[in-house]
A = this chain, B = another copy of it.
Amino acid sequence: MGSAILLLSCPDRVGVVAEVATYIAGVGGNIAHAEQHLSDSDDRFFQRLEIDLEAVAGGLAGFASGFEEVARRLDAEWSLYRSTDRAGLGILVSRQAHCLYDILGRWRIGDLPGEVRVVLSNHPDHRDVARAFGVDFHHLPVTPDTKPQQETRMLEILAGCGVELVVLARYMQILTPTFVDAFPDRIINIHHSMLPAFKGGRPYHQAHERGVKVIGATAHYASADLDDGPIIHQDVTRVSHRDAVSDLVRRGRELENNVLAHAVRAHLEHRVVVTGRRTIVFG
């Protein structure tokens, strides 16, 4: 039934592509798209395949059970997704609403292949809009004292509605390592600057003072060191001396929307693989 996406990585050696492709053809699968990458620094092979499963006996489950042996021979890590599956999304947001509105809008018109399940916020402001888009909203105020309890509560809610990907849509609270570890490579953050330049706070002020001619935004997976996780996507826009800090902030918002949405989509389409401090983002 339908088609599947296979993500695979293993030590490079002669015949990997043949072995995988031969298995697929053997069970009657057809490779609709394929892309691969050989990482020179660690001699590791990465592959993403879109496979038509129409003619495969047992469908996805049948395919997977037979593939286990192939993967063992190749010493491969792999995962398999049904193309039509829609991962559950949870959005964390504070006061600034632009990324929240943007994701809700894109999702509602069908442009994000996931399912927005819940919006969590340390402010009550966005309840009405979330609900107009048909999404549950929880207000979870955070103080230094209540942070651990509230994070526990957040993890419960996210688990309770089957969230697989957490999107930090300008969420201004620093997450504890406990929270981050609960979603390894499954929390996407938007940094309102071109990393690694202007790390930390008030990057648009820094950019203005330095007189840069280009500003950027960076979407990356959250890691213990918040601004240092693997970069998924970046983009820039041209600025000039005529732009006050407030203009940079406003123009940054559009950039943040587009970059975050691009990264979320790439993740949902199973096109992102993390390797060390970097990502491979298949086209």
Contacts of A38 in B (CB 8 A): 32-33
Beyond A33-B37, A33-B38, A195-B197, list 8 extra A-B contacts (CB 8 Å).
A17-B34, A18-B24, A34-B34, A195-B212, A196-B212, A210-B277, A213-B231, A216-B236
Say how far A130's CB is from chain B's closest CB, in angstroms: 9
Asked if A129 is at the interface (CB within 8 A of a chain B CB), the reply is yes
Are A25 and B18 in contact, with the CB atoms below 8 A? yes
Asked if A235 is at the interface (CB within 8 A of a chain B CB), the reply is yes
Say how far A65's CB is from chain B's closest CB, in angstroms: 19
Are A14 and B30 in contact, with the CB atoms below 8 A? yes
Contact with B along A204-243 (1 / 0, CB 8 A): 0000011111101000000000000011111110001110
Contact with B along A252-283 (1 / 0, CB 8 A): 01100010010000000000000001111101
Are A214 and B194 in contact, with the CB atoms below 8 A? yes
Report which of B15, B29, B33, B195 forms a contact with A25, defined as CB distance below 8 A.
B15
Are B97 and A105 in contact, with the CB atoms below 8 A? yes
Contacts of A106 in B (CB 8 A): 98
Asked if A139 is at the interface (CB within 8 A of a chain B CB), the reply is no
* Range class of the A interface residue count: 35 or more
Contacts of A24 in B (CB 8 A): 17-18
Asked if A132 is at the interface (CB within 8 A of a chain B CB), the reply is yes
Are B209 and A277 in contact, with the CB atoms below 8 A? yes
- Copies of this polypeptide in the complex: 4
Are A231 and B210 in contact, with the CB atoms below 8 A? yes
The answer to whether A101 and B105 touch (CB under 8 A), given A22-B18, A132-B132, A197-B197, is yes
Bound complex: CA of A131 vs CA of B29, how far in Å?
49
Return the 4 tightest CB-CB contacts between A and B, nearest first: A211-B278, A132-B132, A101-B105, A197-B197
Bound complex: CA of A197 vs CA of B231, how far in Å?
15
Q: Which A residues, 135 to 183, have Cβ-Cβ distances below 8 Å to chain B?
A: none
Q: Closest residue to A37 on the B side, CB-wise?
A: B241
Q: Which A residues, 97 to 125, have Cβ-Cβ distances below 8 Å to chain B?
A: 97-98, 101-102, 104-106, 108-109, 111
Say how far A104's CB is from chain B's closest CB, in angstroms: 8
Contacts of A279 in B (CB 8 A): 211, 241
Are A31 and B55 in contact, with the CB atoms below 8 A? no
The answer to whether A14 and B33 touch (CB under 8 A), given A236-B236, A241-B281, is no
Are B211 and A234 in contact, with the CB atoms below 8 A? no
Report which of B97, B104, B216, B235 forms a contact with A109, defined as CB distance below 8 A.
B97
